Amino acid sequence: METFIVLAECSSFTETAKRLFCSQPTISNHIQHLEELFKTTLFLRTGKSVQLTKQGEVLLEYAKQMTFLVEEAAIKIKKVSQQDSVLSVYVSNYIAGYFFSDILSHFHTEFPKQLLEIYTYCYDDLVRCLREGRTNVAFMPIYQEDEYIRSQYDITVLFEDDFPLILPIDHAWSSRKVLYCRDLHNETILLPQSPYLQQYITKQVEKQHVKVRFLQMSNFEMIKQAVKSKLGIAFLPYTTVINDIKHGGLQARSVSSLNLTRTNGFAVRKNTKLTPAETAFCQDVERYFLTSRNSLLL
């Protein structure tokens, strides 16, 4: 087809041979094959030049379409091949922000040639990515109340968060050995945007029959800054405040009879076979948290 198109453009067997870097008999052979295939004459020979027949004009239109489609297919195949070589990881802002630095470093050591794309989202946006089929696996908090995730995905638990009460370093309760739920009466408790986390914290506090004021903040980091500024107190994952506690910016206290925890893991769409790269990454993340837990136990 390429030979046919070039010959139609330049109307010369000799010129066509030059452009395609082959012999003139080869050009003649290609055209002969096409004429035998379509059982018609495609070119009229007049001396050293040739001219398309009406049948040749019809074939030229389709030949151009065919070569365009072949080129388009080659581009798309190359793109798919490149995508297959790149691992796209979808992860919650929380897990990415507090754990992925170590995880990615470890994974790169184990699989130095694997290319990675990391996409971080809040919980609701991450669930939307799963619903839209952008990914079959996501690293995220796991909420019992989210029926869609529970019913459509296989869950692997990686770790659990404790949510102690976070106070300014000079809070009046600093000298108290034990805090009780009644101490929370009339306090302002700061909540993150996550509807599931808001629902969980408010429900657990309300079970204790204490009257508190709930205010919403954008994320854990904003809440920490607000607590330091004495705008309220908060229940936050201990991981998010470790450094602040070490440097004397915040303190974490437990509240008697109020044990707040959250499960984190990864969700894999049911009846879906992960790629080798996805499987390797999930296994490496599992090993990372298993090792982390064992280190804490030791």
What per-residue confidence (pLDDT) applies to 79?
Answer: 63
- Other CB atoms closer than 10 Å to residue 216's CB: what's the count? 12
Nearest-angstrom CA–CA distance, 257 and 136: 39
pTM of the model: 0.70
What per-residue confidence (pLDDT) applies to 298?
Answer: 42
pLDDT category, 242, cuts 50, 70, 90? very high
Mean of all residue pLDDT scores within the chain: 92
Residues of the chain with CATH 3.40.190.10: 85-160+270-297, 164-259
Residues of the chain with CATH 1.10.10.10: 2-83
Q: Domain 164-259 belongs to what topology?
A: D-Maltodextrin-Binding Protein; domain 2 (3.40.190)
Nearest-angstrom CA–CA distance, 268 and 262: 19
Q: Which CATH class is domain 85-160+270-297?
A: alpha beta
pLDDT digits (tens, 9 = 90+) for 140-162: 999 999 999 999 999 999 999 99
DSSP string, 190-240: EE-S-HHHHHHHHHHHHTTT---EEEE-SSHHHHHHHHHTTS-EEE--HHH
Is 248 exposed, middle or buried, given 0-12, 13-18 or 19+ CB atoms closer than 10 A? exposed
Mean pLDDT of 44-56: 90
Mean pLDDT of 68-87: 76
Mean pLDDT of 129-137: 94
pLDDT digits (tens, 9 = 90+) for 202-234: 999 999 999 999 999 989 999 999 999 999 999
pLDDT category, 83, cuts 50, 70, 90? low
Nearest-angstrom CA–CA distance, 90 and 272: 16
Nearest-angstrom CA–CA distance, 105 and 85: 19
Provide the strand spans (E) within 31-104.
Answer: 43-46, 49-52, 86-92
What per-residue confidence (pLDDT) applies to 82?
Answer: 58
CATH assignment of 2-83, given 3.40.50.11540, 3.30.70.141, 3.40.720.10, 1.10.10.10? 1.10.10.10
Closest by CA to 121, choosing from 96, 101, 146, is 96
